[in-house]
Amino acid sequence: MNRADTSNAADRPGILPGFADPIHDAQRCFRAVLEAMAHPGKPVELAVLPPALYLNASMPPACLAGMVAVALTLCDADTPVWLDPCLDTPAMRRHLRFHCGCPIVAEPGTARFALIGDAIKMPRFDKFIAGDPEYPDRSATLIIAADFTAAAPGLRLSGPGISPARYPHGLPFDPAGLPAWFWEDRAANRTGYPLGVDVLFVDSGQIDSGQTGSDAVRIAGLPRTTDAVPASRAASGAFKENTACTLQ
């Protein structure tokens, strides 16, 4: 979680302020992240966002602010961060280093967090840290911009945090803007449990009416414990046995 002193950000040329109330805003954001990871595929609102518009003009402002909010909440000096080319700008590097104190690394395989603004060009899952048997928690979390509003009904999620009574054929979740190989890699990642990377999506489909990053944005979690199968297989009970096991 963010530990850096942001009180004098306004006095630093080229550095935007972080959260207006660093402690309480980060706590609210952290609770939203926990909610998203505890209930995979459920959109959760991030109601507190820092200004982020000028860190990267090529991304939707609300989505960019949401990604920065998650980074300000989760990243610190002990969590190396990798930025994809879409987000790897001098302004973003300065912003994260100042507010989080986190090292920015050149290789995805050395990062604990990866911020990915252009998922189509993201590295394959096996390029990221999956943890090790003694410390499976020392793995990477991918924070990925994806479009919830253009989601297709092609996938169903099951596993811990998803009620089989409410979603007997799985929870529909299939955000747009991901590479064609994403779910294949995600399935391979799932088989390595308890090792594996976790994913947190930030909705890129919301439009920020104020153009300042001040509107709420949605996030959705995809932890390594969650199964994802095509809707056609889910309807035939493809993950019924696995779901029963993982929910115990």
pLDDT at 51: 85
Q: What total of structural domains would you count in the chain?
A: 1
Q: Residue 128: inside a domain, yes or no?
A: yes
Among 45-59, 152-166, 192-206, whose mean pLDDT is lowest? 45-59
pLDDT in tens, 159-195: 999 999 999 999 999 999 999 999 999 999 999 999 9
Looking at every residue in the chain, the average pLDDT score rounds to 87
pLDDT at 52 over 90: no
Quick one: pLDDT band at residue 245, thresholds 50, 70, 90?
Answer: very low
Percentage of residues in the chain with pLDDT exceeding 90? Answer: 71
* Tokens 């046995």 sit on residue: 241
C-alpha to C-alpha distance for 237 and 231, rounded to whole angstroms: 10
Residue 4 lies in a domain: no
d(CA 68, CA 79): 15
Distance CA 110, CA 127 (A): 9
The answer, yes or no, to whether residue 5 has pLDDT greater than 50, is: no
pLDDT score recorded for residue 244: 38
Which residue range forms the structural domain that includes residue 175? 9-246
According to the model, what pLDDT value does residue 213 have? 43
Q: Give residue 56's pLDDT.
A: 75
For residue 2, being part of any structural domain is answered with no
Q: For residue 209, what pLDDT is reported?
A: 41
At 240 the pLDDT is 52
Structural domain includes residue 109: yes
Q: What is the CATH number of the domain that holds 83?
A: 3.40.50.11310
**pLDDT at residue 239 in the model:** 52
Q: Which DSSP symbol is given to 34?
A: H
pLDDT, residue 16, reads 84
| pLDDT value for 47 | 85
Is the predicted pLDDT of residue 23 greater than 90, yes or no?
yes
Over 60: is that where the pLDDT of 8 sits? no
DSSP code for 11: G
**Distances from the Cα of 141 to the Cαs of 46, 104, 231, in angstroms?**
18, 15, 26
* 65 and 87 Cβ atoms separated by less than 8 Å: no
Given a cut of 90, whether residue 57 has pLDDT beyond it is no
Position 238 scores a pLDDT of: 57
pLDDT of residue 241: 44
Residue 122 lies in a domain: yes
Spatial separation of the C-alpha atoms in residues 244 and 178, rounded to whole Å: 29
Q: How far apart are CA 65 and CA 213, in angstroms?
A: 5
Residue type, 135: Y
Answer yes or no: is pLDDT of 234 > 70: no
| pLDDT(6) > 50 | no
118 contacts 147 by C-beta, under 8 angstroms: no
